[in-house]
Amino acid sequence: MSEEPDSKPETAKLVDKKRIAICGGTLGRENRYYIRGQVVDAGITEEMRDDSRWDLLTGLFEGQDKEITPFLDYGLEPVRKPILVAEIWDETENLVHQSPEIKGDDGGFFFHEFTKPLPPGKYSFRILFKRLDSYRQFTKDIAYLNQKGKSEISGSSLIGKGKLRILSEDYTGYVTTSDIDQTYLATDIHSNKGKLSTLFETPQQKLPLPGMPALYREIRLATEDSPLCFISASPHFFRRTLLSTIRSHSIETESLHLKYLEGTIKGIVEKFWDSVTHPTKFITDGILGSMERIRKFAGASFQSLFDQMSYKLTILLRDRLYLPTRSKEILIGDNTESDYLIFLLYQYILSGKMSGKELEDYLYRLNFLGRDAITRDAAKTIAELGAENRKIHGDLNSVSLVLINKTTHGPDEEEMHWNVQSALPAGIDPFKQKEVHPYILTEGAPGFAVVLQDNGILDTSAVFRVVADMAGEWMEGKVIDPPALMEWIQNLTLPGDYQDEKDLIIEGLKRALDREEIT
């Protein structure tokens, strides 16, 4: 008797929705900090009704961290204009503070700033759902509840949690801010096929660049638990996947910033329509002037969907508001887009060398890598954030070190230098000004580690651990075996000042290979 072939397992049927708040974490200082997130309705199966199996810090049900993808989260339904309350709890599970009511926007996003002093330490916050401020969402909920009867969306008011790290106002340690794609993760963002595939990758399928998880861990270890923040231009619906990816690599992070594309698109449509229909624009600027203004706005706005310039500058400047004045920043990026110019402009803005209307006009006219990426509104916001930072911190450049990963997809050092010089105003040379720290171009985790050692942040043993961690990892379709690792280190691109440190790593690696300590 022949055996019947195994039938394919059926996909579990969605039977209800669960209202959750996807938060992540935030970083602040004693007298100024914030919480943020998004409220969504997620489809759930019968099994997922068990509240005890939900991790409200990640917004995921038990086991979802291995199968979640951005594509699955693209279908999450935003909850329009939720009214919430945030509670802050300390590490001993004591409630220490509660916010007034917080109103979310049409996309379910919420933000609330606190100014009540909070002692330095690690906290968590809890998001409680109260009611809705949207008639459209209310009627939608009523229709769904009438159809389903009892539902999870009318259940518990606790819908999400997040982490909150508070630094002392006199904190003088480091804060590391890192890009993700081609800096931390080996993401193929240079082909349409690669960009599409990122939508369907689970956390286990997202591979780190060899040695980078170890590098982040070593920085934290060597700098007395200094914070780590990630900034990516990936869409916001990558959040649960990326948080699970970061966790799977045993990396502790304080915050993850992602781009809200739907908000960008909505802003483009509204601003474009206003520019076209507002008669005063044509009276004051004339027909040709108005049409040129609309053309530039449309072009810059479209590019802003893909470019990182205005987005990352805004996030860096906004986050700096919540950092202690004397904290020192390490910025890590790559050469595939505009990180190296963004990190320079950030320093010029903090130090007051570029400010006010002059800065706004410069950003509005800026064309980098053939793209107009900053609208007038974005330029104005960046200038205002710069002024607010200088009011709080003075004309102080908090950046200590800028590390740029040299990839084969970006320009070489000479072309990068030319790109920067042609983009900055005449007379500004970041490579000759002591107040500004120009980028250091090197190759991945081993190069970063050597530079960090030379700057007294990592010691030799930490550098060696980062390099050793690369053995057995995948890189461009190949496994890094010991000979390949040795070849990589020998060919490592570094400025001449770092050659002695590089030689020490090569000698240590040779000794380890002779003793077969790296396999």
Residue 3 has pLDDT above 50, yes or no: no
Q: What domains sit in the chain, N to C, each tagged with a CATH number?
A: 13-169 (2.60.40.1220), 264-305 (no CATH), 444-517 (no CATH)
Instruction: Assign 490 a pLDDT band (cuts: 50, 70, 90).
Output: confident
| Helices 339-350, 413-423: inter-axial angle, 10-degree rounding | 40
Residue 358 has pLDDT above 70, yes or no: yes
Rounded CA-CA distance 13/16 in Å is 9
Mean pLDDT in residue range 190-194: 68
Q: What is the mean pLDDT of the chain?
A: 86
Instruction: Assign 399 a pLDDT band (cuts: 50, 70, 90).
Output: very high
pLDDT of residue 196: 79
Are the CB atoms for 184 and 405 separated by under 8 Å? no
Structure tokens, 163:
């982490």
Instruction: Assign 9 a pLDDT band (cuts: 50, 70, 90).
Output: very low
pLDDT of residue 284: 53
Residue 83 has pLDDT above 80, yes or no: yes
Rounded CA-CA distance 322/166 in Å is 9
Which residue has better confidence, 447 or 228?
228
**Residues forming a β-bridge with 399:** 329
Residue 273 has pLDDT above 80, yes or no: no
Rounded CA-CA distance 493/502 in Å is 10
**Residues forming a β-bridge with 54:** 61
Which residue has better confidence, 487 or 306?
487
pLDDT of residue 305: 47
Percent of the chain with pLDDT over 70: 84
pLDDT of residue 304: 47
Rounded CA-CA distance 174/316 in Å is 15
Q: Which residue is it, tokens 């580690």?
A: 449
Which residue has better confidence, 351 or 373?
351
Instruction: Assign 287 a pLDDT band (cuts: 50, 70, 90).
Output: low
Mean pLDDT in residue range 307-335: 95
pLDDT tens-digit map of 418-441: 999 999 998 888 888 888 999 999
Rounded CA-CA distance 197/51 in Å is 32
pLDDT tens-digit map of 20-36: 999 989 999 999 999 99
Backbone phi and psi for residue 280, each to the nearest 5 degrees, phi listed first: -65, -30
Q: What sign results for the dihedral spanned by CA atoms 339, 344, 346, 347?
A: positive
Are the CB atoms for 264 and 254 separated by under 8 Å? no
pLDDT tens-digit map of 117-142: 999 999 999 999 999 999 999 999 99
Residue 491 has pLDDT above 80, yes or no: no
Which residue has better confidence, 215 or 153?
215
Dihedral angle computed from the Cα positions of residues 49, 52, 56 and 57, in that order, rounded to the nearest 10 degrees:
-150
Sorted by sequence, the CB contacts under 8 Å of residue 133 that are 6+ apart come out as 81, 82, 83, 103
What letter would DSSP give residue 459? -
Which residue has better confidence, 461 or 475?
461
Mean pLDDT in residue range 366-372: 83
Least confident of 83-92, 180-189, 228-237, 295-304: 295-304
Q: Helix, strand or coil for residue 475?
A: strand
